[in-house]
C-alpha cells in the first residue's frame, strides 16, 4: 500500500516498541520518517532497519531545545511536515500514599508538557490535510492500583485532542488519540516479565497481548486520508481491555 506516499512524518519515541512499529509501517506505505528518542544506540539500530527513508534525531520531548533541533532538521531536509505521531511517554507504578512531587513532575513533563510542545512546535511546518496522532492509553479510561500519576497524565492527553479540535478549526489538520492497552513492547516485558505478560494478556477479549505491529497498522490508518473525517476521536487498540 502507498497511502502515505510522499508524506513526511515525525514519530517521537520512535526507536522501539509502538513507535518503531509505526515507523516501519509508515515507510512501507511511502512516507519519509524522522524518529526521535533519547537513546542514540537504539535510534541508530532503528534507522539501519528502516532504511534510506528514515532519519534519527536524539533528544527528549521534555526539553524544548531538543524539539527545536528535531523540527529544524525536518525543515532543512523536507521543508514541510504532514504527520506528527506524538508517541513518546513514560510512567511508573507508585501507589497513593507514596506519590512524590518529583514523580508527578517527571511523568507530566513528558506525557503532558512534552506532548503539547511536540505538537505545538510542529504546527508551523504543517499544512492542510495534516494528521496529528497522540498516544493515549487504556489506563486513561480505566482505574488501576498504583497508576494515579500515569493514568491521569493519559486522561489529560485524551482531552488535548478534544481541545485542539477547536484550536485547529480552519486548518484542516486533524488530531486523534491512539490508545493501546496490553501491548508486548520491550518496556512492558521489562516491567512485567514473561509471566506478568501472560496474566495481563489474559485480561483482554482475545486473551493475549497485542503486537506492536497491530498498533503500527492503526497509526497508519490515522495518518492516512482513510481517516479524513476523523478528529478529536480515540481509537482504542487494546484487545477490549478498557471496553469490558
Write the CATH number for 71.
Answer: 3.40.50.720
What is the per-residue pLDDT for 200?
83
Q: Does any domain span residue 3?
A: no
Q: Does any domain span residue 242?
A: no
Active site residue 7: no
pLDDT 10s digits, 89-128: 998 889 999 999 999 999 999 999 999 999 999 999 999 9
Domain count within the chain: 1
Instruction: Compute the distance between CA of residue 108 and CA of residue 52 in angstroms, rounded to an integer.
Output: 34
What is the per-residue pLDDT for 98?
97
pLDDT 10s digits, 33-50: 999 999 999 999 999 999
The parent domain of residue 201 ranges over 8-237
Q: Does any domain span residue 1?
A: no
Q: Does any domain span residue 141?
A: yes
* Active-site residue identified among 7, 24, 121, 154: 154
Q: What are phi and psi of 101, to 5 degrees?
A: -60, -35
Active site residue 198: no
Does 145 score more than 90 pLDDT? no
Q: Indicate the pLDDT class of residue 157, thresholds 50, 70 and 90.
A: very high
Q: Does any domain span residue 28?
A: yes
Q: Does any domain span residue 25?
A: yes
End-to-end CA distance of the chain: 33
* Active-site residue identified among 128, 150, 198, 200: 150
- Residue found by looking up cell 497509526 in the block: 219
pTM recorded for the entire structure: 0.95
Q: Does any domain span residue 244?
A: no
Higher pLDDT, 193 or 49: 49
Give the Cβ contact number of residue 66 at 10 Å. 17
Q: Does any domain span residue 194?
A: yes
The mean pLDDT of the chain is: 95
Amino acid at each position: 500500500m502507498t497511502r502515505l506516499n510522499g508524506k513526511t512524518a515525525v514519530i517521537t519515541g520512535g526507536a522501539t516498541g509502538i513507535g518503531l512499529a509505526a515507523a516501519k509501517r509508515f515507510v512501507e506505505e511511502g512516507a519519509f520518517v524522522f524518529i526521535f528518542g533519547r537513546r542514540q544506540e537504539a535510534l541508530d539500530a532503528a534507522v539501519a532497519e528502516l532504511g534510506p527513508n528514515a532519519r534519527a534525531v536524539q533528544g527528549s520531548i521534555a526539553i524544548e531545545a531538543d524539539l527545536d533541533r528535531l523540527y529544524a532538521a525536518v525543515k532543512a531536509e523536507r521543508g514541510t511536515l504532514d504527520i506528527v505521531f506524538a508517541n513518546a511517554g513514560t510512567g511508573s507504578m507508585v501507589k497513593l500514599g507514596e506519590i512524590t512531587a518529583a514523580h508527578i513532575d517527571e511523568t507530566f513533563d513528558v506525557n503532558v508538557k512534552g506532548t503539547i510542545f511536540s505538537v505545538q512546535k510542529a504546527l508551523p511546518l504543517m499544512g492542510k490535510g495534516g494528521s496529528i496522532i497522540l498516544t493515549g492509553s487504556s489506563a486513561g479510561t480505566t482505574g488501576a492500583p498504583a497508576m494515579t500519576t500515569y493514568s491521569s497524565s493519559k486522561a489529560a492527553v485524551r482531552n488535548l485532542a478534544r481541545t485542539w479540535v477547536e484550536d485547529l478549526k480552519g486548518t484542516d489538520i486533524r488530531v486523534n488519540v491512539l490508545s493501546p492497552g496490553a501491548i508486548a513492547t520491550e518496556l512492558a516485558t521489562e516491567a512485567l516479565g514473561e509471566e506478568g505478560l501472560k496474566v495481563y494478556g489474559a485480561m483482554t477479549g482475545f486473551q493475549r497481548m497485542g503486537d506492536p505491529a497491530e498498533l503500527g497498522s492503526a497509526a497508519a490508518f490515522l495518518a492516512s486520508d482513510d481517516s479524513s473525517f476523523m478528529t478529536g476521536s480515540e481509537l482504542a487498540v487494546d484487545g477490549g481491555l478498557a471496553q469490558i
